Structure 1
Amino acid sequence: MRILVAVKHVPDIQSERSLGPDGRMVRDGGDGTLNELDENAVEAALTLVEEAEDGEVVVLTVGPDDAVDAVRRGLQMGADEAVHVVDDAIAGSDAVSTARVLAAAVRRLSEQQPVDLVLTGMAALDGLTSLVPTVLADLLELPALTLATEVMVDETAGTVTVRRELDHAVELLRAPLPAVVSVTDSANEPRYPGFKGIMAARKKAVTTWTLADLGIEPDQVGAAGARTAVVAAAERPAREDRVLVTDGGDAGVRLAAYLVENKLV
């Protein structure tokens, strides 16, 4: 079984973020990391391969030079291969353009060796659109099973089954392989790379592709190929309605009174 995991390099969500004059997120803070929700996808892939006692996990990312850190993190967790699509023309791509590049990379990897399953996180924490998994499945003409809290593969039957926990229902969805599946942060607890895994990852090469390698024209991605655009942006205004309470022993009572008075309970 060969599983491909699409991951993204995102800014640290705990740091202060802003949009530049071009309407794009400023990403030169040097504090980027593997998207936290993508760690669940990597963990799901590794678990499936371990349970099958056969197969490999390939991590794939699209982004600038420092985005390679995302796939290296995947290698440290235990992935077998890594692919990084990097090209200046990709800058400014929206969810659709990003999915277009990912789809081309998946096709090329499939030509080398069939891909049985494509996994992603439920969303990227810098944009939170949750669009890429579904668009990717559409471009690849594969079934899309999203927001999975559990992923089960039956290689004999050639199917993948996922469990989805909704507000008022639990769904079990099944689709033939290959398929695209996005997993939530409730799916598992991502493993922390140990020293052995970190050292082993250093010996694993990262394959680098450009748009030309994937047969994609520059005007199909980036700002030129985007279907969305930032029309205007402004800094979040400072809050002026704060109520600060100094606890003199009755803070709990005063807080309860405030909530009741403002009809918040």
Structure 2
Amino acid sequence: MSIHPTALVSPKASLGQNVSIGAYSIIEDGVEIDDNSSIGNHNSICTGTKIGTGCKIYHNNSIGEIPQDLKYDGEDTQTLIGNNVIIREFVTINRGTSAYGKTVVGNDVLLMACTHIAHDCIVGNNVIMANIATLGGHVEIGDWCNIGGGAMIHQFVKIGRQSLIGGGFSAKQDVPPFIIGAGIPLRFVGINKIGLERRKFSEEVRALIKKTYRTYFKSKLNRGDALKKIKNEISQIDEVKEIVNFIESSSRGII
């Protein structure tokens, strides 16, 4: 364990093996940092934060501070950071509120500089958020998503897994799995072909995903009828079922 002499580490914090704490960082009461994680200089790791193994947090970050929500009334809530997470400079992650109780960042996530994750968000595994990307409260990001630089995700929006949001754009409605969203207003511009290929989705599966979205977004049917056609006429592989379930369960509507 390595703790810089200028760091302030609460005796009530729990640090695992081979943890390092950089200059002028503050580790508050009740913080848990698991093995082989490193905290750089000038970081604030607040009460209720748990950080997994093998994480690397660079400099000047605020992790687990109280939410920017006027309804928050001091309740005990958490910020949970998974394993092997990389957090670059000037990132802010707020703890949860009584609505959900925690803000969650999954495993193997990359948060580039100046990203923001608001209260009660759930960020899945293997997500990349590029510089200045911002999540409002209660946002859910599926596994393997890529949120482009400067993108803004409105509160309560859900982004389905393996989707990509173009840099500088804003999502105000839900974005279903496996697609690219871009434009003003945000719209479907195609399936995330390169991402699906990298994840070894077969050509057959990619073709069915493409056919599903062509029916939903590009046919002359209204979306309700398009969804019926998808369920009746397209092979119901797991990925197609996932798309249908996502659309049917959306509370904010689909882009």
Q: Do they fold alike, i.e. is TM over 0.5?
A: no
Larger Rg: 1
Shorter-chain TM range is: under 0.3
| Structure with more helix by fraction | 1
| Structure with more strand by fraction | 2
The normalised TM-score by structure 2 is 0.22
